[in-house]
Chain A
């Protein structure tokens, strides 16, 4: 692992370095080369600190670069400008300390549920018997006990995403990177997975970076909602969600504070000039 020395200017930039910063995004911009040698500025000058154990959502319209930001933290995409760090070290590529969960599930279709969940553990040299025992517990935790030998093609969308979450949790990443994980699911399945994700998260409070375009999903799950402008994506405002945990949907829906957060954030989004006719 390439350990870069901490640059002093990185500390002074944000005034002070948070003692428990898990992810630091420092003046990051991303430009993509499109066809015809044109360049497209996806995100522009984003700085953000995510504390250890925080559940942070990035909220914005499609095409605002919110997924790009997550890919940069994942190390899948290198920023054109600026630096992203995890635990103080500059990100140079993907690593098992940051586990992604994608909207497309991206399961290995030639492996059954057990094979998918153990994959990362075996890769890290965990003995097969131990990997299997750990995976079995995770599969049970995501509610798929009895489906160990099923192949992805035999599962519904919601079940696939449960497997993907278990597969990522298996190798114990410090940070969970969730890229619109429930975006492809129907409303009912989506609600159930949100509830279950919160329950799982309550157990060990991993740092989560969660990309979504759903305001109520962001408010329901998060400690902090980062509202982005449309392309090129900039941070419009960061809203702290001060709602008690553990959160229960039925209680929150009756809670005027929850309602107010949603209304406030929707107003913020309207202010960014987003309209569906001219994305």
Chain B
């Protein structure tokens, strides 16, 4: 009984994918228009993209920008968020600024950034960095703020200096929350990556998609959507594996798996 239930919960995501593809297939057959290829046609177009050297270079360029933008955000946003969480002065200095930036769609800044920095890697990486930073700052801030005062006191009594307490108590104690922010950031990085490539059409996964749209190659358009979606799912699942390993000491939040990991 338990084994069969585990089997169901394990195969549930696959069933969901199959169901979605099924609905897509039926809808496409009923509508029967050129601009809506069936799921099978789209899936058939995937290998052509993944074996094309130019397309692969484009996709890898996207992933590289995403990795750089995300890494920069992690390196800068985590310390900032943690300091904001532990120091009222730092929080009240940065909070107004972040509150103004928060609701602005980062992709909306893309035209201005392109104007200043061109359509190349720098602009797109910067937009990804901006898009990803805020959730990581916010979650690091929340995590640091929730650290039990007595835990820090215990560390202080052992002789840990203030910077040591930050690095060796606040950081690990806030890690579950920080990694939740990073997970949101990872998916946001993918979104911002594609958006930036829609605006600055020069290279990348988003560029392949929109070039195909311009040329009315609808099966390629939908195949790219599948590829980008799969990238998101794989990255998220890999990150969840990593997160699970890093914070296995913390309480499990959900019994239902919320990723493919």
Q: Spell out A's residues near B (CB within 8 Å).
A: 74-76, 93-96, 98-100, 102, 104, 106-112, 119-120, 123-124, 151-153, 167-168, 171, 173
Closest to B153 in A: A76
Q: In the assembled complex, how far is the CB of residue A200 from the closest CB belonging to chain B, in whole angstroms?
A: 19
Closest to B246 in A: A110
Can you add 8 more A-B contacts, CB < 8 Å, to A109-B173, A110-B172, A120-B159?
A76-B153, A95-B157, A100-B150, A100-B154, A102-B150, A104-B148, A110-B173, A120-B158
Contact B156 A94 (CB under 8 A): yes
- In the assembled complex, which residues on chain A have CB atoms less than 8 Å from the CB atom of B157? 74, 94-96, 98-100, 120, 168, 173
What is the bound-complex CA distance between A107 and B173, given in angstroms? Answer: 11
List CB contacts (< 8 Å) of B111-155 with chain A.
148, 150-151, 153-154
Closest to B164 in A: A123
B158-180 interface bits toward A, Cβ cutoff 8 Å, 1 = contact, 0 = none: 11100000000100110100000
Interface of A is mostly: loop
In this complex, which of B153, B156, B157, B250 has the most chain A Cβ atoms within 10 angstroms of its Cβ? B157
What is the bound-complex CA distance between A171 and B158, given in angstroms? Answer: 7
Closest to B251 in A: A153
What is the bound-complex CA distance between A25 and B175, given in angstroms? Answer: 39
| B249 within 8 A of partner (CB) | yes
What is the bound-complex CA distance between A96 and B160, given in angstroms? Answer: 10
What is the bound-complex CA distance between A153 and B153, given in angstroms? Answer: 20
What is the bound-complex CA distance between A9 and B99, given in angstroms? Answer: 55
Contact A153 B154 (CB under 8 A): no
What is the bound-complex CA distance between A124 and B157, given in angstroms? Answer: 11
Closest to B250 in A: A109
State the 6 A-B residue pairs at the shortest beta-carbon distance, nearest first. Answer: A106-B150, A120-B158, A94-B156, A102-B150, A110-B172, A94-B157
Q: In the assembled complex, how far is the CB of residue B251 from the closest CB belonging to chain A, in whole angstroms?
A: 6
Contact B169 A108 (CB under 8 A): yes
- In the assembled complex, which residues on chain B have CB atoms less than 8 Å from the CB atom of A120? 157-159
- In the assembled complex, which residues on chain B have CB atoms less than 8 Å from the CB atom of A167? 154
- In the assembled complex, which residues on chain B have CB atoms less than 8 Å from the CB atom of A153? 249-251
Given the known interface contacts A104-B148, A106-B153, A108-B151, the answer about A151 and B249 at a Cβ–Cβ threshold of 8 Å is yes
What is the bound-complex CA distance between A75 and B50, given in angstroms? Answer: 63
Q: In the assembled complex, how far is the CB of residue A121 from the closest CB belonging to chain B, in whole angstroms?
A: 9
Closest to A102 in B: B150
- Within the complex, which residue of B148, B247, B250 is in contact with A106, where a contact is CB–CB below 8 Å? B148
